[in-house]
Amino acid sequence: MAHPRAAVLVVAVLLAGVAGCRTGHGAASRPSASPSRVPAASPSVSTVPSNAAAKSTVGAGGGPSIGGCPSFPAGNIWNADVSRLPVSPHSGAYVAAIGAGAALHADFGAGSWQGTKMGFSVAYVKPGQPLVKVGFDYAGESDRVGYPIPRDAPVEGGANADGDRHVLVVNTGTCKLYELFDAHPNPGGSWHAGSGAVFDLRSNHLRPAGWTSADAAGLPITPGLVRRDEVRRGRITHALRITVPRTAARYVWPARHSASGAASTSLPPMGLRLRLKAGVQISGYPRDAQVILRALKTYGAIVADNGSAWYLSGTNDSGWNNEVLGTLKGIKGADFEALDSGSLMGDRDSGRVRG
């Protein structure tokens, strides 16, 4: 049974983990960049500030929304209640491989640590935002279209970061989500990235089988983030993005891509759904931590990348209390179980749950 730690050094522990490794995103080697096909740019209009609130509410269809758009349809796997799903027969092995004794960690918060911003930032743009050209290292598995990246688009970790450098953009008019991995601006306004993906937030469509995205599992990042506005409201109604140290050379629905050469059946696959056990006591945690932990019991977390053990992804937001987020470390890997979510799949090429 897990309990929060009452240590005064919790902030220092939280921040120290920010530098945890993020590895294994793409292929073993990077091919040279390929030219991108770009449609004509639209007229310039105002851009929602990159640090604006995500406006994540419960949409008209019952599912979560972001930027006034649905965060996928209500019946999408990201938004599915998995509190009653059966436990995978491999759960013990998977949890042991991730780290039964390792602590849950909020890989986000307020401010920066050693010059690196903690967590992701999302840019919200309006219809007509000019499209820019993006060249890709993994052009064959990227969406080679124009990307509506504003001039002040936030880069994960900051403009000079040397980590994964994700760029996340939501067009609030078209409800399209644009995500880049290892993104670098070029003189003149174009960008270069390792890979890029575009998602229709009103659709259940998945990427082609075997394709990466801006994330190793071939999934979107933004819908799985812990966002401050949701926690402030008191309810998260979607699965959360989580990283683990090593994954197997396979993936399970809804993931579309693996990032490992390990054939071990003891390692978790990309796309694995993890759930906080129902019996874990959370009443002693601060209110905001309880909101996150309830989401992990109800909607769970999806393994999306190789990185540090039990690292939850969320937004960089001045409204976070880093000390409160640090209490999540009272939860250990042994408090989780891996699920068999195959019963929810109706079509392997769609994120829509069966039924």
Residue 77's φ and ψ, nearest 5 degrees, are -60, -35
DSSP 3-state of 293: helix
Residue 5 falls inside a structural domain: no
Residue 163 falls inside a structural domain: yes
Residue 90 falls inside a structural domain: yes
Q: In terms of residue numbers, what domain contains 299?
A: 10-344
**123/47: higher pLDDT:** 123
Q: Tens digits of per-residue pLDDT, 98-110? A: 999 999 999 999 9
What mean pLDDT comes out for the span 137-156?
Answer: 97
Residue 142 falls inside a structural domain: yes
Residue 353 falls inside a structural domain: no
Residue 165 falls inside a structural domain: yes
Q: How many domains does the chain have?
A: 1
pLDDT at residue 51, rounded to an integer: 35
Give dist(CA 199, CA 121) in Å, integer. Answer: 17
pLDDT band at 22 (very low <50, low <70, confident <90, very high): very low
Give the DSSP H or E segment for 302: strand 301-306
Residue 329 falls inside a structural domain: yes
pLDDT at residue 355, rounded to an integer: 80
Residue 352 falls inside a structural domain: no
What mean pLDDT comes out for the span 232-243?
Answer: 98
Which range among 44-48, 84-88, 98-102, 166-170 shows the weakest confidence by mean pLDDT? 44-48
DSSP 3-state of 254: coil
* Closest by CA position to 166, among listed 111, 250, 224, 239: 224
Q: Tens digits of per-residue pLDDT, 278-293? A: 999 999 999 999 999 9
pTM as predicted: 0.85
**Rounded to whole angstroms, what are the CA distances from 323 to 14, 169, 316?**
8, 29, 15
Residue 233's φ and ψ, nearest 5 degrees, are -70, -25
Q: What one-letter code names the amino acid at 84?
A: R
Does position 199 have pLDDT exceeding 60, yes or no? yes
Residues 6+ away with beta carbon under 8 Å from 330? 2, 3, 4, 5, 103, 104, 285
Contact 170, 122 (CB under 8 A): yes
Beta-bridge partner residues of 197 = 179
